[in-house]
Amino acid sequence: MALKETNPSKPTVTGCLQLLCGVIFTLGTLLTLYITFIKSTLNGNCIPLPSDANRHYNPVQKVAKKPLILIWFWPEDLKFDLDDCKKHLNIDGCRLTDDRSLYLKAKEVIFFHDAIKDDLSNLPRLRRPAFQRWIWLNLQPPANTRRIEGADNLFNLSLNFRKDADIQVRWDLTYNKILGKAPSLPKKEHVVCYIKGDKVADNSTGHSYYKELAKHIDIKVFGGSLSWFQNTNFDAICSCKFQLAFEDLIYRDYITEKLNGPLAVGTVPVVLGPPRLNYEDFVPGDSFVHVNDFPNASSLADFLKRVDTDDTAYSRYFLWRQYFSAHRHPVTDNHKYLKAICSACDFSVRNRDYRVIRHLHKCPGTAGGGGGGISGT
Ligand SMILES: *[C@@H]1O[C@H](CO)[C@@H](O)[C@H](O)[C@H]1NC(C)=O
Ligand SMILES: *[C@@H]1O[C@H](CO)[C@@H](O)[C@H](O)[C@H]1NC(C)=O
Ligand SMILES: *[C@@H]1O[C@H](CO)[C@@H](O)[C@H](O)[C@H]1NC(C)=O
């Protein structure tokens, strides 16, 4: 009787198994269809392969591909090899090009200020792609910068020496990962040296100060008709205890390779430029002598003569070298803008902010000036 009682339940078990099989079959079919669909998509049978034009929107390729940066004008026609960022500065994050036909693909386009015509007629005529950012490159202080009406609201990023620039151009010191030894003093032939660039006016603040200083101390002069940049001779600078690093124009944050040159070779720069505190934004306060630390050139000359005979005092200018290193910058003429353009490359890889420079010419005055009218999110 017990069997009879269980009998009616048997068809129920079979029914359940059938239902389960049905479900599995249906799922299997759906999975097969799904895989077939995916495969056909990947094969490009159903959806067309992305064309070059919309490749930009493919997030996978966007990460894998280096951003393209177009140099619209070579600054001062100083062309360098497009591989030089990697070769000289170990910057390899972007692809640089000067081929204007790639304009629509460029993530950033660099415009050298001096080359822009007043009527903007030599800027791109094609509509700017939404993702593209225009970079305004100008390494001159405002006093040397021609005003271009209509250039406001045109650029997205500024590339210059100012601390508040989107992309700052500067020969930075690097931290020593391992604490260095206090360096031994390099052998020196001269006490004070000076390089006069061809573009420096005889009545400029720096050159006038040099002439005054020369009345009180012997100064070894290098160079001649060439620009300071072309004249940078590291061996010559290295042979001096002090090197006059006088900026052509005095402007906040305008501290050029004239400071980096001596620091890179183990010579103490005597600086004339923005105030001491502004230099200390970038290099240690005991790495240089500032002319403003002295009431006049004769008292600076006395100081330099005294330190020349006092190795302990001179060696204090080398203590910072345990913590930081300075590096020689490339000095061939065509590399004058290498650092700037490579810095843009480096920046492009790291940063994707949206911004517009509203007032290109609204710049702060000398020391302590405010922001430069840059807005962004
Ligand atoms: C230097 O001289 C030029 C012309 O000789 C003059 O225009 C300029 O204002 C002078 N600059 C200074 C700082 O005296
Ligand atoms: C320079 O400054 C020192 C110290 O203040 C002073 O004694 C000297 O007379 C000044 N020299 C000149 C030429 O003004
Ligand atoms: C760049 O600036 C232009 C002009 O002001 C603006 O129209 C554009 O949206 C900005 N683009 C980006 C990516 O920030």
Instruction: Please write down the HEC assignment for all residues of the chain.
Output: CHHHHHHHHHHHHHHHHHHHHHHHHHHHHHHHHHHHHHHHHHHCCCCCCCCCCCHHHCHHHHHHCCCEEEECCCHHHCCCCCCHHHHHHCCCCCEEECCHHHHHHCCEEEEEHHHCCCCCCCCCCCCCCCCCEEEEECCCCHHHCCCCCCCCCCCCEEEECCCCCCEECCCCCEECCCCCCCCCCCCCCEEEEEECCCCCCCCCHHHHHHHHHHCCCCEEEECCCCCHHHHCCHHHHHCEEEEEEECCCCCCCCCCHHHHHHHHHCCEEEEECCCHHHHHCCCCHHHCEEHHHCCCHHHHHHHHHHHHCCHHHHHHHHHHHHCEECCCCCCCHHHCCHHHHHHHHHHHHHCCCCEEECCCCCCCCCCCCCCCCEEEC
Q: What does the pLDDT read at residue 129?
A: 95
Taking CA atoms only, the protein residue closest to ligand 2 atom 6 is: 299
> Could you say which ligand is closest to the alpha carbon of residue 300?
2
Residue 331 has pLDDT above 60, yes or no: yes
Distance 198 CA to ligand 1 centre (A): 15
> Could you say which ligand is closest to the alpha carbon of residue 352?
3
Q: What does the pLDDT read at residue 160?
A: 93
The atom of ligand 2 lying closest to the CA of 297 is 1
Q: Provide the pLDDT confidence category of residue 24 given band limits of 50, 70 and 90.
A: low
Taking CA atoms only, the protein residue closest to ligand 2 atom 7 is: 299
Q: Provide the pLDDT confidence category of residue 5 given band limits of 50, 70 and 90.
A: very low
The atom of ligand 1 lying closest to the CA of 201 is 1
CATH numeric code, 174-328: 3.40.50.11660
Min mean pLDDT across 97-101, 164-168, 179-183, 224-228 is at 224-228
Choose between 144 and 263: higher pLDDT.
263
Residues of the chain with CATH 3.40.50.11660: 174-328
Choose between 178 and 262: higher pLDDT.
262
Distance 203 CA to ligand 1 centre (A): 6
Distance 125 CA to ligand 1 centre (A): 40
Choose between 100 and 17: higher pLDDT.
100
Q: Which residues line ligand 1 (CB under 6 A)?
A: 201, 203
Distance 302 CA to ligand 1 centre (A): 29
> Could you say which ligand is closest to the alpha carbon of residue 204?
1
Q: Provide the pLDDT confidence category of residue 365 given band limits of 50, 70 and 90.
A: very low
At 244-293, the pLDDT tens digits run 999 988 999 999 989 999 999 999 999 999 999 999 999 999 999 999 99
> Could you say which ligand is closest to the alpha carbon of residue 152?
3
Q: What does the pLDDT read at residue 56?
A: 43
Taking CA atoms only, the protein residue closest to ligand 2 atom 3 is: 299
